[in-house]
Amino acid sequence: MPLGAFNPHSPQTLEIATLFASILILSAAIFLIVAGLIAYIALRYRARPGQAEPARDFGSRSAEIAWTAIPLVVVTGIFLVTVRAMALIDAPLHPGFAPDLVVTGHQWWWDARYPNGAIAVSEIHIPAGRRLLVEIDSTDVIHDFWAPQLARKMDAIPGRPGYIWLEADKPGTYQGVCSEFCGAQHARMHFLIVAQPEPEYSVWLRRQAAPAARLPIPVFERKCAECHSNPLKGPDLTHIAGRQTLGANLSPNTRANLALWIEKPQSVKPGNRMNDQQLTKDEVRDLTGYLEGLE
């Protein structure tokens, strides 16, 4: 179950799932008691042939105290466990508190910037078993960062960063989605979170911060570099060959999919910000080969 908010894989989401299940069970119990009493009373006191109107009964102090006190106790209990869960889940909000990772939403992809200069696109690596303080930003419209198994949701609002803890108990690959309608390709603004054992993560982080493995070829400089070196315009491609997927987790990162994206970006993801570059077959082949070398 890749998108399971009910299948938590971090202490924070376990807390959320437990809170949700507790309130659901409590609500179900209250519903059954109330519905059961209504059914019982409807049958027990139903009109019977030959029976006169029953005597009217006005006011009952003990009933009034009971139906005030019981909900008050229930709601106070829910309030207290919710406040406790929020205290455990929410990241601190210190201005000037340096985040471990800055994740930015764009129409329509995500990038993650690490303090050592590494940039990851739509595939965020984290160390398993260690929580990171993540800042969530946007450069255009409001998005919402949601990896249901690992963390709470957080809106990505331009000019107003939000903070979450991001953590995975075990190594693995976890799914994430944009959870706020943000335009034509909102539904395909997915991402992956790859939780790795600490030594593997350090190696990845170091390699991801290194410059591109090859010098840009002329057609790349001419057609691609302007947008793809500006995070306000296009995703960074420095290590594109190391990614599992293309187009914000839209398709597997294969040679054929990469070539199709380069040749006809609008056919792959209609409405995306990359226009058809009118490339020749040779240029598509050269660009595909060049990008495939950027591990």
Q: Among 8, 105, 127, 176, which residue interacts with ligand CUA (rule: CB under 6 A)?
A: 105
Residue 212 · residue 238 · CB < 8 Å: yes
Helix (H, G, I), strand (E, B) or coil at 289: helix
**Whole-angstrom distance, CA of residue 8 vs CA of residue 189:** 22
Structure tokens at 267: 């056919």
- In terms of CB distance, is 120 or 178 closer to ligand CUA? 178
Pick out residues in 57-96 that bind ligand CUA (CB under 6 A). Answer: none
Question: Residue 101's closest CA among 77, 117, 86, 90?
Answer: 117
Structure tokens at 46: 């139903």
**Whole-angstrom distance, CA of residue 189 vs CA of residue 181:** 10
Beta bridge mates, 172: 195
Cβ neighbours of 2 (radius 10 Å): 11
- In terms of CB distance, is 40 or 181 closer to ligand CUA? 181
- In terms of CB distance, is 180 or 263 closer to ligand CUA? 180
Binding mask 184-223 for ligand CUA (x = CB under 6 A): --x--x----------------------------------
* CA distance to 24, 26, 86, 196, 215, per residue, from 81 (Å): 13, 13, 9, 32, 56
Query: Least distance from C-beta 189 to ligand CUA, angstroms?
Result: 4
Asked if residue 167 binds ligand CUA (CB under 6 A), the reply is: no
Asked if residue 137 binds ligand CUA (CB under 6 A), the reply is: no
> What length does the chain have?
295
Strand order from edge to edge, sheet including 101-106 = 119-121, 109-113, 101-106, 132-138, 162-166
- In terms of CB distance, is 175 or 288 closer to ligand CUA? 175
- In terms of CB distance, is 128 or 182 closer to ligand CUA? 182
Query: Least distance from C-beta 176 to ligand CUA, angstroms?
Result: 11
Asked if residue 182 binds ligand CUA (CB under 6 A), the reply is: yes
Number of residues in contact with ligand CUA, rule: CB under 6 A?
A: 9
Structure tokens at 123: 């595939």
Query: Least distance from C-beta 182 to ligand CUA, angstroms?
Result: 3
Query: Least distance from C-beta 155 to ligand CUA, angstroms?
Result: 10
Asked if residue 180 binds ligand CUA (CB under 6 A), the reply is: yes
- Residues at the contact surface with ligand CUA, assessed by CB under 6 A: 105, 108, 143, 178, 180-182, 186, 189
